[in-house]
């Protein structure tokens, strides 16, 4: 299954400390109706660091059940423990996901050789397409294009979620990893530039709030209407900015709650956003006609 377009990094709605199953299912149905091209449950935006293993697995299962084959599902299964990443990836495969999104190990700062060994071990343990999640801002390690090229030689290492913010990187990655290597940006604000440099889509935070508009950018690009894609992308820029004024997913959860689709409830150590950020989020949403 090809991965492209606006792929939402789903929030995990909570109510009274527990997963709000009804809200989660409702969000997925809304996204499908709005044209979202794929789903990533239990990524960073889904507050995976504070989900128990049981909750992590349940969210993946709920997503698979609700999507019911209508869109690809790419489950977050990364860990800074290789053994734990293998366990989570095995569960995701059994649940029926289309691929696993596996973050570079955080905190323990592996070398490039360590990164290669980590992904090679997961690849060899689970027969499932793997997308590397390269996000130096959270993991403190940056997988080099050379290491990624070595991994791309393995049959089930199929792509990357690139959150480096380096818009030259997709050009270098394509040069090293080939045209079939699927490149997805993790930075909403550089979506169009990333597509122009050979990317296939965006694993998007903003799509949680404006799924139709985010999908429209990709649809316009795919039909060759760069002007329409740029016009919509420019309209979305204030929202892209506002959703990262504080640590994500606190702002995006507030934004989705403003749409009446879930509670803004977070788990510590994340806390509710401040008044200034709330005003910025609301202003950006009003500018797009998402709220009155």
Alpha-carbon distance of 270 to 50, in angstroms, equals: 10
CA distances from 222 to 134, 179, 191, 268 (A): 25, 17, 13, 40
Annotation marks residue 253 as catalytic: no
133 is catalytic: yes
Q: Where are the beta strands (DSSP E) in the chain?
A: 5-9, 14-15, 18-19, 38-40, 74-76, 99-103, 130-134, 157-162, 182-185, 201-204
Task: Spot the catalytic one: 93, 116, 119, 161.
Answer: 161
Residues 6 or more apart from 199 whose CB is under 8 A from it? 162, 170, 183, 184, 185, 191
What lies within 8 Å, CB to CB, of 140 at 6+ separation is 106, 107, 109
Catalytic residue (one of 93, 133, 253, 254): 133
Q: DSSP 3-state assignment of 138?
A: helix
Q: Catalytic site residues? A: 133, 161
């Amino acid at each position: 299954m090809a991965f492209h377009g606006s792929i939402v990094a789903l929030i995990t709605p909570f109510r009274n400390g527990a997963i709000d199953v009804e809200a989660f299912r409702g969000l997925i149905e809304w996204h499908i109706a709005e044209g979202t091209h794929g789903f990533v449950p239990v990524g960073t935006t889904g507050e995976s660091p504070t989900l128990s293993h049981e909750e992590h697995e349940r969210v993946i299962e709920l997503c698979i059940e609700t999507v019911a084959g209508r869109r690809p599902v790419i489950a977050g299964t990364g860990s800074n423990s290789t053994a734990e990443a293998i366990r989570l990836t095995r569960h995701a495969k059994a649940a029926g996901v289309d691929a696993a999104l596996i973050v570079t190990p955080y905190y323990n700062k592996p070398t490039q050789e360590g990164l290669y060994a980590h992904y090679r071990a997961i690849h060899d343990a689970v027969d499932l397409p793997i997308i590397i999640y390269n996000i130096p801002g959270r993991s403190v390690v940056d997988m080099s294009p050379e290491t990624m090229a070595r991994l791309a030689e393995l049959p089930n290492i199929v792509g990357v979620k690139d959150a480096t913010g380096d818009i030259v990187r997709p050009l270098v990655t394509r040069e090293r990893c080939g045209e079939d290597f699927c490149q997805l940006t993790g930075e909403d604000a550089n979506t169009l530039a990333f597509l122009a440099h050979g990317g296939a889509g965006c694993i998007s935070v903003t799509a949680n709030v404006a799924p139709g508009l985010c999908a429209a950018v990709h649809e316009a690009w795919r039909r060759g209407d760069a002007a329409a894609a740029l016009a919509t992308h420019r309209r979305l820029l204030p929202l892209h900015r506002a959703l990262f004024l504080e640590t994500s997913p606190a702002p995006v959860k507030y934004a989705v709650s403003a749409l009446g689709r879930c509670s803004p409830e977070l788990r510590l150590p994340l806390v509710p956003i401040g008044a200034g950020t709330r005003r910025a989020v609301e202003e950006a949403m009003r500018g797009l006609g998402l709220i009155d």
